[in-house]
Structure 1
Amino acid sequence: MSKRVFLIVLDSFGIGEMPDAADFGDAGSNTLRAASKGTGFSMPNMGGLGLFHIVGADPGPTRADFTGCVARLAERSRGKDTTTGHWEIAGLISEQAMPTFPEGFPKELLDRLSAETGRGILCNRPYSGTDVIRDFGEEHERTGALIVYTSADSVLQIAAHEDIVPVEQLYEYCRIARKICQGPWGVGRIIARPFIGTPGNYTRTTRRHDFSLNPPKPTMLDIISGAGKDVLAVGKIYDIFAGSGITDHVYTSGNAEGIDRTLEYMDRDFDGICFTNLVDFDMLYGHRNDVDGYAAALTYFDGRLPEILAKLRPDDILMITADHGCDPSTPSTDHSREYIPLVMAGACLKQGINLGTRIGFSDIGKTILDYLDIPGSIAGESFLKDIRRSGEEPDAE
């Protein structure tokens, strides 16, 4: 009988500072706690699975009992970015942080990018994505120069107006940047940021595209697909892993479509994993310090969770987790170094299991391989024996 795992990443849904958070400038960060103070925050369905029983996930209220399996996971990698977090979930520990450029990119790098694209460069410093098009958009339209900027994360972002640089051309410029940005310049992601509008009224479009480094070692995804099983990717998962190990994928415009596409995959007969990233938490609310927006997004996801649970088959496992934090209440608009939650459900799992704090997001990947009966050498320790229902146990009422 085929086995299916649905792994959903609520992008940036951290649940409290890690012990080394101060080293990253993130002391006191707790994304869940911050969002729980937002207008209308409500997560009764995640709460019923056990979210608020996790150490640090303390907005409450908690139920005396809960029906899922939960854990708090610490990051072993030296980072707090999307690529590092997802790679670690898939069993790849990044011993060294990916390079960041808080003073902007080196002249040699930009000279090469300008020469190979035939366009000038604007900005070249850390910037908010919405502010940068406001401040440089008009000059970009006038000169055709590319808006190149970064953040506290390991990224090089290129913004361009769709009327000045067609989207496919922007993607090609990003591929050029990806080839240039290797070694000491090897940022985790090159991000295309197309926008539209007129001066004073620019808006970014949904045709963002990420160009990631290739994972340096095989991940859970390579091992699953290498064993002849399915690896379905929803949202930016395909980009984060540079397509490695993925057998089918679909891009999405945001959380609502990400949930819709996941539900469609749940109607499909497959054997393996469906890996989903819901990006709006991070992109629209965490980075913009929008507490109410973050609260509304969590409430929306929780409201649709029953649809996902209803489609689980007897041998399916649902895992809901995150990749880092992005506390919307702190002065910083960048990611935060936080523990992540893991909330699991499925008829084949025990109820009311709290695994406490585990060291390494990679325990997720190792457990998935264990459940799918696939041997593979990745980081992590499987906890399947602690959560899997034995054949003698009665089904839940």
Structure 2
Amino acid sequence: MEFVQQLLEWYGKNARELPWRSDTSAYKTWISEIMLQQTQVEMVIPYFNRWMDQFPDIYALASADEQAVLSAWEGLGYYSRARNLHRAAQYVVQTFGGQLPRSSELLKSLPGIGDYTAGAIASIAFGEDVPAVDGNVRRVLARYFDVSLPARSHAGAQELWRLAEAHLPPGRAGDYNQALMELGALICRPKNPLCSTCPIAEGCRAYLFDLQALRPVTTRGKKTPHLTVTAAVIRRGDQVLLAQRPPDALLGSLWEFPGGTLEESDADLSACLQREIQEELGVAINVGQAFGRYRHAYSHFKITLHAFLCSLSPGVEPQPLEGQNLAWVKIETLPDYPMGKVDRQIARRLIGEDDNEALPG
């Protein structure tokens, strides 16, 4: 267990000052851990501070309107995290009297909380002796113990959790888990790890046998699909039409400029957009001037979106056939509607805040 003592001593001297570490209340620990999923610390800090100003406790979050929650989250991505936070807060208020459960097992009953997040909250906020294995911790343990199993395989994940639990110092689980995370973030980086400054390098098997680049073992991923997407900027005077996405879809409950994915049967982008609007809104449109080309990468696919200025053909009012709702919105009020990154770029261009949002060509 010498490496654990070395790790804890290093953490005590080198831990970053972060807003959720100055107050390890259950609520702040929970919010920070959810925000930190798939997101860098530097990006999370201003979001966390604004969130605490807007939703200072679980009661404020539970009573908030979902659109306000999504607006506060806009830009962090993976919006199911925000919706799960909102639902979990309401459940905790109704079921647990506004107090987050103190055990990792009960925490896992809440929307959006899995093994890692439950372990992190329970150990940091409540002192429960449970491990918390995220990507940083996986990397540190896989290198230190030279784990040859693929880290994300069932067997590999089991082994890494076993190692994390086997070396957990009783009564210090919160510091231990955070120390492993911190070491992975600052020293034991995915590429070019700083082994010469690592406090546990002398016992690290990957370092001893020069295997750092080969640990953790990964499996070759599938090629990321790339989709061509269209969007209609439908104007009526000083208003533009927005559609609200279904609650359980990607970017659920966010607002967008309606459109959809190019299919093989579509003759061109205009035909694609006309078909999609007919299917989504039940109306015909006239497709006009291009309004920019935008690229974005989601977790499992990439898109290139082509936006067009459009007008409705006379005679029929659009209906939300596939989404939750439609709204004719004054262009200056577009910031009030939570959107994904690409739709926000289109909105900014409409407002005139940034004429350089779209790609050339």
Give the structure-1-normalised TM-score. 0.23
Greater share of strand residues, 1 or 2?
1
Give the structure-2-normalised TM-score. 0.25
The structure whose Rg is larger is 2
Greater share of helix residues, 1 or 2?
2
